[in-house]
Amino acid sequence: MKNAVLVLCFLLVTSLSFGSLSLGLISVAAQTESFSNTPLSGFVGIDVLGIDLRYDFDPLSFGIATPFLVFTLSEDTGVKPSFIIPGIAWYGYVGLKLDLDTFYVRGDIGHTFAFGEQSQLGFSPLRLGVGMNFSPGYYIELNVDPILQKFKETVGKIFDFEIGYRF
């Protein structure tokens, strides 16, 4: 067991020396009726705030994100914030990143999953976007996120904005 932990620690330190780990605050905004097939009268949009942990091993990018706050806007209830326990819902992804000095272009494909019966996730977003590197480790990104299962209905209706730091 000690040897396995030692090998894993060695692989982690080695891979971090060749790649970069980043932590970001992500905001996903969607103008949609519903991701599940539940009809919602007067539903206008949703905004999800979450934490995104990413590992870039140029040009590959791997990450996982979890939400912690959801804002819904509807004609029925107005703006309604809801706290989500981090770790209940997840978005895992793998993608590519092309550095163009200060700016970069990126794309990834992932899948959402959740623990518990109340959460109805299981869709696969395709994120395409641009980013900008600031002083040593800070970055911002803007992505468009169509969902593969409902591509025609979601293209151009879901966006995410992320601000983060690369270690």
Query: How many structural domains does the chain have?
Result: 1
Structural domain that includes position 119? 19-166
Residue 9 has φ and ψ, to the nearest 5°, of -65, -40
| In 58-159, alpha helices (H) | 151-154
pLDDT band at 15 (very low <50, low <70, confident <90, very high): low
| Domain assignment of residue 10, yes or no | no
| Domain assignment of residue 14, yes or no | no
Residue 39 has φ and ψ, to the nearest 5°, of -75, 130
**CATH code (residue 107):** 2.40.160
Q: What Rg do the C-alpha atoms of the chain give, in angstroms?
A: 18
Cβ partners under 8 Å of residue 87, min gap 6: 66, 115
Q: What confidence tens digit (pLDDT) does each residue in 110-145 have?
A: 998 887 665 566 788 899 999 999 888 899 999 999
| Domain assignment of residue 11, yes or no | no
| Domain assignment of residue 76, yes or no | yes
Q: What confidence tens digit (pLDDT) does each residue in 92-110 have?
A: 999 999 988 899 999 999 9
What does each C-alpha distance from 139 to 55, 63, 100, 145, 159 come to in angstroms? 14, 16, 13, 19, 17
| Domain assignment of residue 111, yes or no | yes
| Domain assignment of residue 151, yes or no | yes
What does each C-alpha distance from 116 to 84, 98, 132 come to in angstroms? 12, 37, 37
| Domain assignment of residue 92, yes or no | yes
| Domain assignment of residue 9, yes or no | no
What's the start-to-end Cα distance of the chain, in Å? 29
Q: Output DSSP code: residue 125.
A: B
pTM for the model stands at 0.79
